[in-house]
Every structure is written in C-alpha cells, then in structure tokens.
Amino acid sequence: MTLQTPTSCPIPTLLSLFFWVEKVGFDRILEAHFDLGLFGIRSERQMDEGRLCQWSVIRSLLAIAQWWAFNVTVIIMNKWIFQKLDFKFPLTVSCVHFICSSIGAYVAIKILKVKPLITVDPVDRWRRIFPMSFVFCINIVLGNVSLRYIPVSFMQTIKSFTPATTVFLQWLVWGKYFEWRIWASLVPIVGGILLTSITELSFNMFGFLAALFGCLATSTKTILAESLLHGYKFDSINTVFYMAPFATVILAVPALLIEGPGVLSWLYTHPSVFSSLVIVFGSGVLAFCLNFSIFYVIHSTTAVTFNVAGNLKVAVAVLVSWLIFKNPISGLNAFGCAITLAGCTFYGYVRHMLSQQPPESPRTPPRTPRTPRIRAEMVPLVNDKLDDKV
C-alpha cells in the first residue's frame, strides 16, 4: 500500500510514516532489529567456542609432547648412564633420583608455592605414607635394575604387562570380580609379552625378572593407594613431596653397602668424572620434572587420550632407543611389541566403556565388588584425575 502525500507538507509525511509503522507492525521491526543483534552475539559466542576448542586441542598436544619428551629422555639417559658411562649402579641412580625429587618437591611446594601442601597427620605418615613409599622405592629400583641388564625396547614391553598383573592381583588377593570382557582384553597383552620374550635377541633372565617384579610392584602400589591413601587427594607433586624422602632413607643404606665400593672405584678410574656426574644428576632433575609433566598431561587430556598417548609413548621410547643404542630387534620381536601395545590400548578402551555404563540396580547387587571404575592402573602415580579423588 502506497500513501501519497504532498511533499511540501511535513505533517502528512510524518503521518504517513506513522501509518506505515502501524501497518507493518512495530513489534516486527523491533524483532528484526533484535534478531540482527542476537545473530551478532551468537556469532561472537560461536567464534569464542571455536577458539576455546582449538586451544584445548593445542593444549592437549603440548601436554602429551612434553610428557613424551621428559619420559623418553629420562629412560634414554638412564640407559646411557648404565651402558655408555659404565656407571652400572642402579641403586645409586635411583637414590640420586629420590634426592633430586625430594629437593624439587620441597622447592615447588614450600618456596615457589606451585601447589598447596596437603596436610597429612603424623600418624598417617608412618602408617600410610611409609608403606606406600617402600613399594614406590621398590618399583623405581626394579625399573632401573631391569634397564641395567636388558634393552629399553624389551623393558618397556614388559612394563606394559602391568594392567594384567593389576587385574590378577585384585582378583587373587582382594577377591574382586571382573567381567569377562576385562579378562578377554588381557589376552593380546599376555600373548604379545610371551612372543616378545621368546624372540628377544638380548634376553637376560635377571633383567627380565626385575622388569616382571617391577610390574607387580607397580600393581601393588596402585592397589594399596586405593586403601592406604583413601581420603587424601594427592597430586603428583605432593606424592613426591611425602614419598621421595622416605624412599631416600630406605634406599640410602643398601645402596651404600652394595654399590659404595664400586662407585668409589668408578670415580677414581673414569676418564671424565665431572661430565658423567652432570648426566647422572641431570637424569635425577629430569625425573622430578617428569612428575610435573604427568600432572599436566592428566589435567589436559581425557582418560581415553591418556591411555592411547601412554601406549604411543612406549612405541616412541622403543624407536628412539633403537636409533641410539642399535640393539638388535627381530621381526617377530617387533610384532610381539606391537601386539602388546595394541592390547594395552584395547584394554584401556574396554575399561573406559565399562566405566560409562550405568550402575546396576541395588536390588540385584553383585556378590563381590564390580570392576573398578578408575584408571589408576594406567597412571604411574596415585590418582586417576589427581585432584578429584584417590
């Protein structure tokens, strides 16, 4: 509809505008204006969400990369110390790691205030923390002992046996019930370990047993943490703060008695003592930094990503160690290692899927505890999310 008014008269023009607004509808004009503004707000919000998503992915990748870097570097440095520097004293190396970790954790918590100190009752320090520290010490020592005698590739593959030993100990000692899918997911891990062990060209029985018992120690530490540390929300830094000093005290005397004379002889006969000691203590500093990297990666990734990244980390460590030390690896040996890592990934996936299932009806409770709903077996520390629960 067109309203014609004389152009020389301003009042009819204003009236025409008024009638037009009334006909079109003032509400529709406001609605159109509001939609345009809301569209701009939505667009900005979507752009912000996109940036946050991109930053989350970048943060996860950076966390995984620095975790891989610290972990692989510590493993390679320890093997370099044992093999290239001829410093064949795993107890002493472990003790150096504990000393560096004790100092680093004290500086991080008490001086730099990176994390707040979790207060532990003095009685609990001896009743709970000390037993955990003993198992923690045994776990680290056995890992370094195995690394002293067998290649990194074989040692890392054997350490991947930890999920199987954890499930077996929980079933045998604590009587926990596990669904058949958990047991079935362990078959590739066991098969891969057997194939790798049979075809290992640099097999050493002492190193193999040390790595195997190291898996049992890791599983025991994980299981004990659920009961002994119940009620304490430990993160990795507080874990080191309390356990590393105890581990140092536990290991100092055996290391001095067993390896002391050998260390003194090495100090007198080695051609480059200073640079070698820098590497030894440098590995201890990096071992402490590894705790920060684990803390960061767990807070920056999901459970599934953490599981997959952990298994890929083993593959990276195996590849890097082979490039540096040139230890012989047969085709069947590499195939067994690949089966083991794939089995660990599948096991983590099964555990994650079972954890997403709704809880069973209370009217039909299971006779024994169901499958644990945490991923503590996949972390070399105490918690699954470190700040959520123990």
pLDDT tens digits, 250-308: 999 999 999 999 999 999 999 889 999 999 999 999 999 987 788 778 777 776 777 78
d(CA 165, CA 168): 5
d(CA 338, CA 343): 8
C-beta of residue 209 within 8 angstroms of C-beta of residue 152: no
- Give the Cα-Cα-Cα angle 218, 222, 227 (nearest 5 degrees): 145
> What pLDDT is stored for residue 29 in this prediction?
45
d(CA 279, CA 80): 9
C-beta of residue 174 within 8 angstroms of C-beta of residue 106: no
Instruction: State how many domains the chain has.
Output: 1
Nearest in space to 239 (alpha carbons), one of 92, 163, 137, 311: 137
Record the tokens describing residue 276, joined without a space. 């070698």
d(CA 177, CA 226): 16
pLDDT, tens digit (0-9, with 9 covering 90-100), for 56-96 = 778 888 888 898 999 999 999 999 999 999 999 999 999 99
Determine if residue 328 is left, alpha or beta; phi over 0 gives left, psi from -120 to 50 gives alpha, anything else beta. beta
Q: Is residue 107 part of a domain?
A: yes
Q: Is residue 14 part of a domain?
A: no
Q: Is residue 354 part of a domain?
A: yes
Long-range contacts of 129-134 (CB under 8 A, 24+ apart): 129/242, 129/243, 129/246, 130/246, 131/224, 131/228, 132/221, 132/224, 132/225, 132/228, 132/229, 132/243, 133/242, 133/243, 133/244, 133/246, 133/247, 133/250, 134/246, 134/247, 134/250
Based on C-alpha coordinates, what's the Rg of the chain?
A: 30
Band of pLDDT at residue 52, cut at 50, 70 and 90? low
Nearest in space to 106 (alpha carbons), one of 233, 338, 253, 288: 288
Q: Is residue 91 part of a domain?
A: yes
d(CA 239, CA 386): 10
Overall pTM surpassing 0.85 (yes/no): no
- pLDDT (mean) for 44-49: 61
Tell me which of 6 and 381 has the higher pLDDT.
6
Residue whose pair of structure tokens reads 């707040």 in the numeric block:
116
- Give the Cα-Cα-Cα angle 370, 371, 373 (nearest 5 degrees): 115
Q: Is residue 335 part of a domain?
A: yes
d(CA 72, CA 320): 8
Residue whose pair of structure tokens reads 């098969």 in the numeric block:
191
> What pLDDT is stored for residue 233 in this prediction?
77
Q: Is residue 365 part of a domain?
A: yes
> What pLDDT is stored for residue 363 in this prediction?
46
> What pLDDT is stored for residue 301 in this prediction?
76
d(CA 47, CA 369): 46
Residue whose pair of structure tokens reads 């001095």 in the numeric block:
256
d(CA 316, CA 68): 8
d(CA 75, CA 325): 12
Q: Is residue 256 part of a domain?
A: yes
> What pLDDT is stored for residue 46 in this prediction?
61
Nearest in space to 251 (alpha carbons), one of 103, 147, 97, 78: 97
pLDDT at 51 over 60: yes
pLDDT, tens digit (0-9, with 9 covering 90-100), for 159-206 = 988 888 989 988 888 888 888 889 998 999 999 999 999 999 889 999
Q: Three-class SS of residue 193? A: helix
Give the range of the structural domain holding residue 286, as residue numbers without chain letter.
Answer: 60-378
d(CA 380, CA 276): 28
- Give the Cα-Cα-Cα angle 234, 238, 239 (nearest 5 degrees): 70
Q: Is residue 109 part of a domain?
A: yes
